[in-house]
């Protein structure tokens, strides 16, 4: 059988650039010690890696203070810390139906356990939230807007800047989930008007799994919802208030930081715009090819002038469960995709695909080629034609 065609980059990018593997291996072999805890040379070297990566990501997100770039496991971790640490019982929060469970579930918990009122804004037929509709939901009692920058199901990138402007004017915290966009679409704290940017390292930033974090704007003080070792001020009984320690707990994921550092450098060297253009060229080819296949239903895949997208595409083959299409792509064609609800149940409820156990999603990454796309279109066409013969 031909070698695997990996089209599940929306879940995680794979493979990684060679420099990422090298950086992780080098870290553990040459200076794999706990940073910031002692003064010996290796410890300082490990600490320097952390500091340099904070600065790199501070610049990447257009922040001002590297200490406000805090590391955690992933964006789920960061979103939990930001949401539970900024929203108080009885507050009002505005969010959207495009949210991933990483913010949907914390918000649901606050709504059901802490009397937080959550307003859910829907997206239109093409997959975009109308910024004015969201802004209209902001009231004097609104504490935060929590929103997904780029959809992991339909790929639409939301027009966040007008929402951010109003949030800044009205003192509302904008907590932005950039899991899918960071690394392919510019994410600038000031342009977008965000207070907290939550990122994960293992998607388009090209780092490994288990490393992510957030950038917290100066003046925004997130309440501690955890406490633990920081390696400094150890006699102090309450957790430190100063960033980055305020939001970091225990030994950080140093091999992850080493890999992320290399991944972000690789993205910057390639050029984000160039990577995005490559992926979107393949996305358009995939979309156009699948459009021609009888029995294929595409979701929110129309071009809308002036609107931005990232390279995930969801579809179903008429009469087939998404999981069955996925199994045939895997077993018969050696193509990896992602099927189901993609941790975003409200998107599928809106599309009606929750009734058929979700959709099939292709996620295109920097190492995909036109040959991969051609093979994927041919494979879906074969599956659709077999289905047509059987029915």
Ligand X SMILES: Cc1ncc(COP(=O)(O)O)c(C=O)c1O
Which residues contribute to the site for ligand X (CB under 6 A)? 74-76, 100, 102, 148, 152, 177, 179-180, 200, 212
Query: Closest distance between ligand X and the C-beta of residue 343, in Å?
Result: 6
Closer to ligand X by CB, 96 or 368: give it.
Answer: 96
Query: Closest distance between ligand X and the C-beta of residue 312, in Å?
Result: 9
- CB neighbour class for 329 (10 Å; exposed up to 12, middle 13-18, buried from 19): buried
Query: Closest distance between ligand X and the C-beta of residue 192, in Å?
Result: 15
Q: What is the DSSP string of 226-242?
A: -----SSSTT-SSPP-S
Closer to ligand X by CB, 96 or 152: give it.
Answer: 152
Residue 194 · residue 164 · CB < 8 Å: yes
Closer to ligand X by CB, 189 or 341: give it.
Answer: 341
Query: Closest distance between ligand X and the C-beta of residue 76, in Å?
Result: 3
Query: Closest distance between ligand X and the C-beta of residue 147, in Å?
Result: 10
Give the distance, in angstroms, between the CA of residue 124 and the centroid of all CA atoms in the same chain.
21
Query: Closest distance between ligand X and the C-beta of residue 101, in Å?
Result: 8
Residue 9 · residue 179 · CB < 8 Å: no
Query: Closest distance between ligand X and the C-beta of residue 226, in Å?
Result: 16
The backbone torsions φ and ψ at residue 275, rounded to the nearest 5 degrees and listed phi first, read -65, -45
Neighbours of 25 (CB within 10 A): 14
Round to whole Å and give the CA distance between 139 and 232: 41
Closer to ligand X by CB, 94 or 198: give it.
Answer: 198
The token pair that represents 359 in the structure block: 């959709």
Query: Closest distance between ligand X and the C-beta of residue 316, in Å?
Result: 20
Closer to ligand X by CB, 179 or 325: give it.
Answer: 179
Antiparallel, parallel or unpaired: β 173-177 and 196-200: parallel
Round to whole Å and give the CA distance between 56 and 69: 10
317's enclosing H/E stretch is strand 312-317
Closer to ligand X by CB, 151 or 296: give it.
Answer: 151
Closer to ligand X by CB, 200 or 253: give it.
Answer: 200
Residue 98 · residue 151 · CB < 8 Å: yes
C-alpha torsion angle, residues 122, 124, 130, 134 (rounded to 10): -10
Closer to ligand X by CB, 103 or 293: give it.
Answer: 103
Q: What is the DSSP string of 374-389?
A: HHHHHHHHHHHHHHHH
């Amino acid at each position: 059988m031909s070698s695997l065609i990996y089209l599940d980059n929306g879940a995680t990018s794979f493979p990684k650039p060679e420099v990422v593997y090298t950086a992780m291996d080098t870290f553990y072999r040459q200076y794999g010690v706990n940073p910031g805890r002692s003064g010996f040379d290796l410890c300082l070297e490990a600490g320097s890696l952390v500091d340099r990566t904070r600065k790199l990501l501070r610049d990447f997100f257009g922040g001002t203070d590297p200490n406000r770039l805090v590391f955690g496991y992933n964006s789920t971790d960061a979103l939990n810390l930001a949401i539970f640490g900024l929203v108080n019982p009885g507050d009002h929060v505005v969010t959207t139906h495009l949210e991933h469970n990483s913010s949907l579930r914390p918000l649901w918990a606050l709504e059901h356990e802490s009397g937080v009122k959550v307003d859910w804004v829907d997206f239109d037929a093409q997959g975009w939230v109308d910024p004015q509709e969201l802004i209209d939901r902001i009231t004097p009692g609104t504490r935060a807007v929590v929103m997904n920058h780029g959809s992991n199901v339909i790929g639409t990138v939301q027009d966040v800047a007008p929402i951010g402007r109003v949030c800044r004017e009205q003192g509302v915290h904008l907590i932005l989930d950039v899991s899918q966009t960071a690394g392919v679409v510019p994410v600038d704290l000031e342009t977008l008007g965000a207070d907290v940017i939550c990122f994960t390292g293992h998607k388009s930033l090209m780092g490994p799994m288990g490393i992510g974090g957030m950038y917290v704007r100066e003046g925004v003080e997130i309440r501690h919802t955890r406490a633990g070792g920081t390696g400094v001020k150890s006699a102090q009984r309450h957790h430190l208030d100063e960033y980055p320690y305020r939001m970091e707990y225990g030994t950080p994921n140093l091999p992850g930081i080493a890999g992320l550092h290399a991944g972000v450098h690789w993205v910057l060297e390639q050029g984000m715009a160039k990577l995005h253009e490559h992926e979107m060229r393949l996305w358009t080819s995939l979309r156009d090819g699948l459009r021609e296949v009888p029995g294929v239903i595409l979701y929110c895949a129309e071009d809308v002038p002036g609107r931005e997208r990232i390279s995930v595409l969801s579809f179903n083959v008429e009469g087939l469960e998404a999981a069955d299409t996925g199994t045939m792509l895997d077993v018969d064609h050696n193509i990896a995709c992602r099927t189901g609800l993609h941790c975003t149940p409200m998107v599928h409820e809106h599309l009606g695909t929750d009734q058929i156990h979700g959709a099939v999603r292709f996620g295109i990454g920097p190492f995909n080629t036109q040959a991969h796309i051609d093979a994927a279109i041919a494979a879906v066409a074969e599956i659709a034609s077999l289905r047509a013969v059987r029915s």
